[in-house]
Amino acid sequence: MPSAECGGTTLCVSSSLDPGTESLLRELAPQVLGAVIRRFRDFAASEDAVQEALIAAARQWPREGRPDNPRGWLIQVAARRLADHLRSESARRRRESVAAEDSAAHEAVPAADSGEAATDRDDTLLLLFMCCHPALSPASAIALTLRAVGGLTTDEIARAFLVPDATMAQRISRAKQSIKTSGVPFRMPATSEDRAARLTSVLHVLYLIFNEGYTTSSGPALHRSDLSNEAIRLTRAVHRRLPGDSEVAGLLALMLLTDARRAARTGPGGELIPLTEQDRRLWDRRAIAEGVALISATLPKGSIGMYQLQAAIAAVHDEAARAEDTDWPQILALYGVLKQVSDNPMVTLNHAIATAMVDGPAAGLALLEPLGTDARLSGHHRLDAVRAHLLEMAGDAQSAIALYRTAAARTSSLPERNYLMTQAARLSEQG
């Protein structure tokens, strides 16, 4: 089967498409890929077949009109392409030994337009579970999820994480090969323990994708809205399939409540504007209302997880009309619970900030001391930046200047670096 024009399930021939059709194809791509993988059990070959189906749709639908069942059409075309490819390969390589198997695969293709059960099943969640298999590293799972489910090209993913295209291509290829050799069946995990472990991986990967989009770790821009938007879209898909899961709802609420501030986070030149100085009139009130409704409905249901608690904290920030109206005692209490749920140094870091806002900077600085020897955070620019901020609050300007500069030297984000250097310069001028 010839290689697809741009690889994966990304639509790359859409210049002549109307926005509605292009959006539909992007939405259907992971669903179609999931259906084809479920039938043929070959990730890479299924990707190529789905890409060819998308290309065919982009060429034919503008001329002939959109079919009544677009997903069924795409599944049928992709399955026939792949079945033809398998039959051709079998004839060349194995002929008699697999003739019956190939025939069965090819006979199965017409089911795509014979009934709704074959084409109306949404396999996006299954595909997410496969891409986020616990056997994969977080980096590989993120890359594979963005490629197969998010529809980003390899070079787009490589640019987002500032690695060469070849490196990202190898990472994605190894991830697909790991899934293939693992023999993981394309279905929801059979046991409740396995389902919980896989869902934990799914949510963790979506959380990491969102965070990288909301505050990009490297480069000239503070955020990558394409990544954060994609994380929200995929989390919505998981929430639609698992509406009763409190942590799924909590993660979606957290993303909405956090992303609602995006427009106020940067100035005209892309400079970072901290939360306390943002123009809250620019916050997305619709997203805030949706996020608050989600977390308000979720918290009373019983077991509380880390995403729900973070969403609750975000809601307290978003509901404050002014920075000085923020209910810091409530935030401090929530971080206290979060520390018991999640052994994460970033939680401790944020808990120290909340403590400083309630009990004074000295109390916050005391909580930061153990983090200096925590290998997970030692040397991270956030620790230096927070310590500098609390020292500034305590009136130790010279120590704060030194730490602001140290933090600036340790971050790869240009907006963060510029902000930290600006803070150091401001204190120097005041002295």
Nearest to 148 by CA among 214, 205, 216: 205
The answer to whether the CB of 75 falls within 8 A of the CB of 118 is: yes
Query: Among 219, 242, 265, where does a domain finish?
Result: 242
- On whether residue 429 sits in a domain, the answer given is no
pLDDT of residue 185: 66
Which runs of E-coded beta strand occur in 38-117? none
Burial annotation 135-155 (CB, 10 A radius, 16+ → b, else e): ebeeebbbbbbbbbbbbbbbe
Query: How many domains, in total, are found in the chain?
Result: 2
Cβ count within 10 A of residue 94: 12
Query: Among 242, 267, 284, where does a domain finish?
Result: 242
Which own/partner contact pairs does 40-43 have at CB distance under 8 Å and 24+ positions apart?
40/79, 40/82, 40/83, 40/86, 40/105, 41/186, 42/82, 42/180, 43/148, 43/176, 43/179, 43/180
- On whether residue 9 sits in a domain, the answer given is no
- On whether residue 381 sits in a domain, the answer given is no
Same domain, 94 and 175: no
Q: Which amino acid is located at 117 in the chain? A: A
Cβ count within 10 A of residue 100: 9
- On whether residue 299 sits in a domain, the answer given is no
The Cα–Cα gap between 357 and 365 comes to 11
Both structure tokens of 176: 């697909």
Helix (H) or strand (E) segment spanning residue 219: strand 218-219
Same domain, 113 and 157: no
Same domain, 115 and 210: no
pLDDT of residue 376: 82
Same domain, 238 and 138: yes
Same domain, 174 and 118: no
The answer to whether the CB of 123 falls within 8 A of the CB of 34 is: yes
The Cα–Cα gap between 409 and 404 comes to 9
- On whether residue 236 sits in a domain, the answer given is yes
- On whether residue 196 sits in a domain, the answer given is yes
The answer to whether the CB of 310 falls within 8 A of the CB of 331 is: no
| Sole residue written with tokens 């938007």 | 229
> Would you write out the chain's pLDDT as a tens digit for each of its 431 residues?
433 345 555 555 444 567 778 878 887 888 888 888 878 878 888 888 998 999 999 889 988 888 989 989 999 999 988 888 777 766 555 544 544 444 444 433 333 333 334 445 567 777 888 888 777 888 888 888 888 887 777 887 887 776 788 999 999 888 888 877 877 666 666 677 777 778 888 898 899 889 988 998 878 899 988 889 989 988 998 899 889 999 999 999 999 999 999 999 999 999 999 999 999 999 999 999 999 999 999 998 878 999 999 999 999 999 999 999 999 999 999 999 999 998 789 999 999 999 999 999 999 999 999 998 888 887 889 999 999 999 999 999 999 999 999 999 999 899 999 999 999 999 999 96
- On whether residue 346 sits in a domain, the answer given is no
Rounded alpha-carbon distances, angstroms, from residue 228 to 133, 222, 260, 312: 21, 12, 11, 19
Same domain, 93 and 174: no
Same domain, 129 and 214: yes
Rounded to the nearest 5 degrees, what angle is found at the Cα of 292, between the Cα atoms of 286 and 295?
140
The answer to whether the CB of 288 falls within 8 A of the CB of 311 is: no
The answer to whether the CB of 25 falls within 8 A of the CB of 58 is: yes
**Domain span at 44:** 19-122
Same domain, 135 and 94: no
Give the pTM.
Answer: 0.78
The Cα–Cα gap between 385 and 410 comes to 10
Same domain, 133 and 109: no
- On whether residue 166 sits in a domain, the answer given is yes
| Sole residue written with tokens 């503008």 | 62
Same domain, 60 and 143: no
* Close Cβ partners of 175 (under 8 Å, ≥ 6 residues apart): 131, 136, 140, 141, 143, 144
Query: Among 122, 147, 173, where does a domain finish?
Result: 122
The answer to whether the CB of 66 falls within 8 A of the CB of 109 is: no
Cβ count within 10 A of residue 314: 25
Same domain, 127 and 224: yes
The answer to whether the CB of 159 falls within 8 A of the CB of 220 is: no
Same domain, 51 and 94: yes
